[in-house]
Structure 1
């Protein structure tokens, strides 16, 4: 098969990034890349992204796309750095505009911050198709975790973002601004309606001590074993379970640093007159 998938697991945030390549044309897409961030020191590093670049160089790939499944709340995106180093177009779902509007208000970003998604090179609508070399990819709108989540399907592989985790971990939370447990259930059912052999690649894993990190499952695996949405679990039961669990969860450790970068397509805020870029932390504003 022409499709080649290489995962990169970043253990600090539990994030899985991917390089998806077409072996025929050697064109590639990078999915959900991580910019390493030390919150105590306020320091970014590109170690994780440089591992991706090394893979691209070793395989002599050309980057066509840098795909974000959503504006992540648990890590900073390395999309802008990778575009600078390797080219490609940064893309995300068109509903990112809704997310930008919410967080523009939270961070008080001012009139000069546009909320039209123009920070990204391309915005996908549900069902849009695009090429990665000779491979045809499809954007699938899967709101619920946030109002702007996209999954990406290429042949028998679907990159689900935070919508589905491994079956023993279940599903993403739905309590962020604009999140909706009922919408999340319906988005998941859309993915689980795909053929049983369809491979599902998650954006995160938080492995229990009983197993190593993992990120690939199948539609059949999820329908049989997912602790939140396996066959037989109704929408109402899922919503009740998800809402009860979300009420016990703390905010992600990097939500406030990450979102102000990720709604900018991985670009840090503009440096001030001393040449330093500053991240804003709104105090007592996050519910």
Structure 2
């Protein structure tokens, strides 16, 4: 098993490539589409680096895995699929998130809330085969209702892609104030991850380091239990919920949440062009945040 991580510096998001090198198969986790909010222009510069990496090695892309419907970057899943093929994977509870945001954005009846935009919907404990690697879905709601972590195991090791549930120990944990989020639920989801063997490597979706260190795509279960500033072993559920809710009340909405959510719940698709040939996204007024 190999894992290669690529940082999109604008959103501080990691896209990971998980590979069975012997069988030349791979999966891509959380690919990023570049989006300039000032101009409304998109670019594939970030993900094209990842696509070229896969092509150079001659690997076949089997899965494009989204850990959840992101609020901080737009998914490049459609571009990846058009370039390399592969099946688009997300947790089955994405239907709940689709229904929540369909109301917020007042999408018309043509917007599907059955997750049929995706190819594979995973449930807790469901497995996917990637050559000699077994990928197991772990349902970890709290940040949103649909978050999944994905544990990958072969004969040599086990790693886990945690999405936005956990960050590096000095950064902490995901916010829970988006529609459908819940701090108590997040705490319990994190305990599932911390119950894994202590030497399990965790691959992060984001890293937001202070100036004193470089970005890093990984941590371990042991490091999280010992050092996570929000949820280490000495912090109980009540303390975590109090901290998380107080902290969330002070946070601004992510700068890309409005374009990101409406694109990502539709599997990375933009709305159909209008009669002038231009695609448009909606901006709900006074519907998010306070």
Report the TM-score range of the alignment, normalised by the length of the smaller protein.
over 0.9
- The alignment partner of 2:22 has SS state of coil
Q: Tell me the number of residue pairs that the alignment of Structure 1 and Structure 2 aligns.
A: 285
**Distance in 2 between residues matched to 1:169 and 1:285, nearest whole Å:** 28
**Distance in 2 between residues matched to 1:265 and 1:133, nearest whole Å:** 25
1:61 aligns with 2:56: no
Contact 1:199 1:216 in 2 (8 A): yes
Contact 1:69 1:160 in 2 (8 A): yes
1:265-284 to 2 correspondence within 5 Å?
Answer: 265-284=267-286
**Distance in 2 between residues matched to 1:69 and 1:92, nearest whole Å:** 6
1:1-287 to 2 correspondence within 5 Å?
Answer: 3-155=1-153, 156-287=158-289
- The alignment partner of 1:161 has SS state of coil
Name stretches of at least 5 consecutive residues in structure 1 with no aligned partner.
none
Structure 1 position 170, deviation (Å) = 0.6
Structure 1 position 169, deviation (Å) = 0.4
Query: How well do the aligned residues superpose, as a CA RMSD in angstroms?
Result: 0.7
Structure 1 position 273, deviation (Å) = 1.4
Deviations 1:193-252 (A, max 9, x none): 000010001100111000000120110010000001111110000000101100100000
**Distance in 2 between residues matched to 1:75 and 1:111, nearest whole Å:** 26
Structure 1 position 70, deviation (Å) = 0.2
**Distance in 2 between residues matched to 1:25 and 1:255, nearest whole Å:** 38
Name stretches of at least 5 consecutive residues in structure 2 with no aligned partner.
none
Structure 1 position 36, deviation (Å) = 0.1
**Distance in 2 between residues matched to 1:112 and 1:54, nearest whole Å:** 35
Deviations 1:46-73 (A, max 9, x none): 0011001110011111000000000000
Q: TM-score, normalised by structure 2?
A: 0.97
Structure 1 position 132, deviation (Å) = 1.1
Structure 1 position 24, deviation (Å) = 1.7
Deviations 1:91-111 (A, max 9, x none): 100000000001111111111
**Distance in 2 between residues matched to 1:255 and 1:14, nearest whole Å:** 15
**Distance in 2 between residues matched to 1:80 and 1:54, nearest whole Å:** 16
Deviations 1:4-44 (A, max 9, x none): 10001111111011011111211110000000000111100
Structure 1 position 283, deviation (Å) = 1.5
Structure 1 position 151, deviation (Å) = 0.3
Deviations 1:107-129 (A, max 9, x none): 11111111000011111011000
**Distance in 1 between residues matched to 2:235 and 2:248, nearest whole Å:** 18
**Distance in 1 between residues matched to 2:63 and 2:223, nearest whole Å:** 29
Deviations 1:161-215 (A, max 9, x none): 0000000001010111110100100000000000001000110011100000012
Structure 1 position 274, deviation (Å) = 1.4
- The alignment partner of 2:83 has SS state of helix
